[in-house]
Amino acid sequence: MKPVIEIAWTHIVSKPKQTIVAMLGVTFGIGMYIALISLMTGLNQFTEEVTMTSSPDIHIFNDITQDRKTILEEINPAALTYVHHQKPKQETSKIRNALQIADVIRKDPRISGVAPTLSSQVFYNYGPVQLNGLILGVEILEEDKLFDLRSKMKAGSLDDLRISTDGILVGTGLAKKLNAAVGDRVVITTPQGYTLTLKIVGMFQMGIGAVDNIRAYANISTVQTILQQDQTYITDINIKMKDRHTAKAIAPEYQAMFGYKAEDWETANATFLTGVSIRNIITWSVSITLLIVAGFGIYNILTMTIYNKMKDIAILKAMGFAGNDVRMIFMIQSLVIGFTGGLMGLVIGYILSWLISKAPFEGGDIVSLEHFPVNFDPKFYLIGIVFGVITTALAGYTPSRKAARVDPIEIIRGQ
């Protein structure tokens, strides 16, 4: 075994240029793979996180636009009827027994938090200008459990909201539009024409312009007052799962149990999340292509080496090295090239990812980002090196087998 390693090693170091070129193929492939996958999964994670700050794992609401049976159909179930352009029934979007439903859900062991809320379209009056917006009535501590609001507060605090009767938390974007700071008062008007003056007790920033520019939080009772509704008026129940990926399976259960529309986050953000799978496809296909190209490089160089070393192989076999020994000599070479090139690739990949993570990125109004999001998960580095070694092993296998099968007599007599 030992002389085999020695011979392989001598081959590697006696042609440094050739070895380095072969290694660089692998280095480049794996380096690019690391950089690509770090950036892409970083973006994906960021997207998912942002998505999660604006939508609960499961959202239960009264979907009054859902298709319903026409009266004609109800009266004549056997008849063929057609009603043109049916519109929703006049009803409120209230969830009946919302608090009891919340209590039932809270007992489910798969759930980590439930928050009944209600929301209303409002206009924020900024002098003569009316800004469109949304105000959510929440039990702020429950909401914090679901969306980790506390960490997103830029001014004021959640507790200030709890103890005030007319306080609201506004998004930073909205505050900027209203030219308002903590302690200022804003006048709101509902589409029904009800007007109320509220006091800003805090500001939050979710990182998505679409939320920060329009959303405000108030206590449930405040919003009930704005809407001129009673204390049981709840329009939405937001649920947080222990494992968010179970949401898709559990949502239909609740829909059947309570008779209200239950929508999971993946369905609610389907368009947002298609980007994730497209990015994944691109990343993996590019990475695999790079590694295959590196593999062909190693294949070529080994084939050349073996062609040049035919005489050496013949003499080794004459001296008593078996076919397996010869195969090992060349397999060791390709594995050393793959492993070393792969390790260098990890370093290059890390440096590239680090540089990307420091590159300024202007997210604009949509998302608040200063740099590219990069994922430094060690899992990808492990996959990279394993992939690199496997590719080089596959690339080295055929030439090595050819070397093992060299007939020494043919070479020696051929001189």
Using CB under 8 A as the criterion, what x/- string covers residues 59-88 for binding another protein?
------------------------------
Contact between 209 and another protein per CB under 8 A: no
Among 2, 17, 85, 89, binds another protein (CB under 8 A): 2
CB of 328 to another protein, least distance (A): 12
Of 104 and 318, CB closest to another protein: 318
CB neighbours of 283 closer than 8 A, spacing ≥ 6?
Answer: 36, 37, 40, 41
Dihedral of CA atoms 362, 363, 368, 371 in degrees, nearest 10, equals -50
x/- letters, 8..47, toward another protein (CB under 8 A): --xx--x---------------------------------
What number of other Cβ atoms are within 10 A of residue 181's Cβ?
Answer: 12
Q: Which is nearer to another protein, 367 or 406 (CB)?
A: 406
Closest distance to another protein from the beta carbon of 415 (Å): 5
For residue 301, give both structure tokens. 């160089």
User: Which among 7-15, 115-123, 146-154, 254-262 is the span making contact with another protein, rule CB under 8 A?
Assistant: 7-15
Q: Does 259 bind another protein (CB under 8 A)?
A: no
Least Å from the CB of residue 249 to another protein: 57
Q: How many CA atoms are closer than 13 Å to the CA of 117, on its beta-carbon side? A: 26
Site residue total, another protein (CB under 8 A): 26
Candidate segments 114-122, 310-318, 338-346, 360-368, binder of another protein by CB under 8 A: 310-318
Q: Which is nearer to another protein, 129 or 412 (CB)?
A: 412
**Shortest distance (Å) from residue 403 CB to another protein:** 14
- For another protein, which residue of 168, 220, 312, 367 counts as binding (CB under 8 A)? 312
Q: What six digits make up the tokens of 29? A: 């492939």
Residue 234 vs 336, nearer CB to another protein: 336
- The correct pick among 17, 66, 319, 378 for binding another protein (CB under 8 A) is 319
Answer yes or no whether residue 321 interacts with another protein by CB under 8 A: yes
- Residues making contact with another protein (CB under 8 A): 2-3, 6-7, 10-11, 14, 311-312, 314-325, 408-409, 412-413, 415
